[in-house]
Amino acid sequence: MEARAPRPGVPVRGSASGRPVMAALDLLGRRWTMRILWELSHAPAGFRELQRRCERMSSSVLSTRLDDLTAARLAALHDDGYRLTPLGRDLVEALAPLSAWSRRWAEEMGDAPPSDQP
Amino acid sequence: MEARAPRPGVPVRGSASGRPVMAALDLLGRRWTMRILWELSHAPAGFRELQRRCERMSSSVLSTRLDDLTAARLAALHDDGYRLTPLGRDLVEALAPLSAWSRRWAEEMGDAPPSDQP
DNA sequence: CCCTTGCGCTTCGCTTATCGAAGCATCATA
DNA sequence: TATGATGCTTCGATAAGCGAAGCGCAAGGG
């Protein structure tokens, strides 16, 4: 472990206020964080399997992200690999509408291509 | 404008599949993206005001993020500044449960300090 | 006993993203 | 004409992310 993981109530990158939602935006705005939560919500996974599921994620970043998530109490390492905590499951649940939204987004972007790609 | 903004249906950082939700995770996983959406959802804002609202955000990154969001059709520049599009407003709405979740998170983290800070 | 295989990570040199002070062109008001 | 606001760019410096290699450990053959 090394760098400070964002925690509510404490100033984070981009916000001195310590407002919980800002800590959340900091944590989730780090690369791979949401993807890892996403994958873990489907099924628990060990380090190496998680890496396989997130194609191209570097082991070093996976390691620090798992530290982040562990410090934030959203995930924890068990005998069968990393699992979301109840809090982590709630977060994924809060993020769930993203999936439906992204399909709407895809539709709307599909209609009129943004000036490249034939 | 310069780099490719993530779009659904096209391979993005961390996923070759083009699944819409992966494009969304890529876009939202870039620093400041969600924060900007958050701020714009409260009120439209011009470039410099937006920068003021997002304390410490560098102008160069704000510029590229606004390009990203514009290319993704989530925001657009009007006479009175940047505004969310209807699609952008939907996204913020999909993200709204985060706020409530983060308060629960704050409670749970407040209970037992994570082994530093007296 | 090795020997291989899988595990959870770490290390480290390289590339990319982000930072932030400075500046540019433009418009409005004084 | 000068002052201050706007929307951005530029560019050198720092931080974050990358990925191949490797470490120490444990389990399962041969």
Q: Give chain A as a 3 state SS string.
A: CCCCCCCCCCCECCECCCCHHHHHHHHHCCCCHHHHHHHHHHCCECHHHHHHHCCCCCHHHHHHHHHHHHHCCCEEEECCEEEECHHHHHHHHHHCHHHHHHHHHHHHHHHCCCCCCC
Count of domains observed in chain B: 1
Across the range A109-113, mean pLDDT stands at: 68
Residue B78 domain-assigned (yes or no): yes
* Contact between chains at A87 and B104 (C-beta distance less than 8 A): yes
Residue of B25, B55, B103 with shortest CB distance to A34: B25
Q: What is the pLDDT of residue B117?
A: 32
Residue A41 domain-assigned (yes or no): yes
With cut-offs at 50, 70 and 90, classify the pLDDT of residue B8: confident
Q: What is the pLDDT of residue A117?
A: 33
Residue B39 domain-assigned (yes or no): yes
Kindly list the residues from chain A whose CB atom is less than 8 angstroms away from the CB atom of residue B23.
Answer: 102, 105-106
What are A57-76's pLDDT values in tens digits?
999 999 999 999 999 999 99
Kindly tell me if the per-residue pLDDT of A13 is higher than 70: yes
- Closest alpha carbon to C1' of D11, residue: B60
Residue B91 domain-assigned (yes or no): yes
Kindly state whether A52 is in contact with chain B, defined as any CB-CB distance less than 8 angstroms: no
Residue of A33, A106, A117 with shortest CB distance to B8: A106
Per the CB < 8 A criterion, the answer to whether A71 and A28 are in contact is: no
CATH for A91: 1.10.10.10
For B62, the domain range is 20-109
Residue A63 domain-assigned (yes or no): yes
Kindly state whether B104 is in contact with chain A, defined as any CB-CB distance less than 8 angstroms: yes
Residue B11 domain-assigned (yes or no): no
Residue B42 domain-assigned (yes or no): yes
* Contact between chains at A114 and B55 (C-beta distance less than 8 A): no
Higher confidence at residue A86 or residue A113?
A: A86
Across the range B34-47, mean pLDDT stands at: 97
Give the C-alpha separation, A95 to B114, whole Å.
Answer: 25
State, as a whole number of angstroms, the distance between the CA of A37 and the C1' of C21.
37
Per the CB < 8 A criterion, the answer to whether A75 and A118 are in contact is: no
Please give the full DSSP string across B32-78, using - where no structure is assigned: THHHHHHHHHH--B-HHHHHHHSTT--HHHHHHHHHHHHHTTSEEEE
